[in-house]
Amino acid sequence: MTRSLALMAALGGTAGAAGLATLVRPAPIARALRLETAEASPYILRIMGMMLFALGLFLTGFALVATMAGVA
C-alpha cells in the first residue's frame, strides 16, 4: 500500500467515524459548533453526518479496491 492510499484510508476512516457519530448523536455536535436550537438543526446535522459517512465509505472502499487490485 502506497503512502497516498494509506492516507486515503485513514482520512476515510476518520470521516466515516465522524459522520457516524454525528448521525447517532447530533446534540453534542450542535453544542460544539454553537448552533442555535432551531427545529432544523438536528436534520441539518444528520444530513451532514450522512454525507461524511458516505465520504468515508467512498475513500476507504477506493483504497481497499486499489490495494486488492494491485495498483500499489
* pTM of this structure: 0.82
Domain count, the chain: 1
Domain range for 25 is 3-69
* pLDDT greater than 80 at residue 71: no
Cell of 34: 454553537
User: What is the DSSP track for the chain?
Assistant: --HHHHHHHHHHHHHHHHHHHHHH-HHHHHHHTT----TTHHHHHHHHHHHHHHHHHHHHHHHHHHHHHT--
Q: Is 52 within 8 Å of 16 (Cβ atoms)? A: yes
Residues 20-50 have pLDDT tens digits of: 999 998 888 888 888 887 888 888 899 999 9
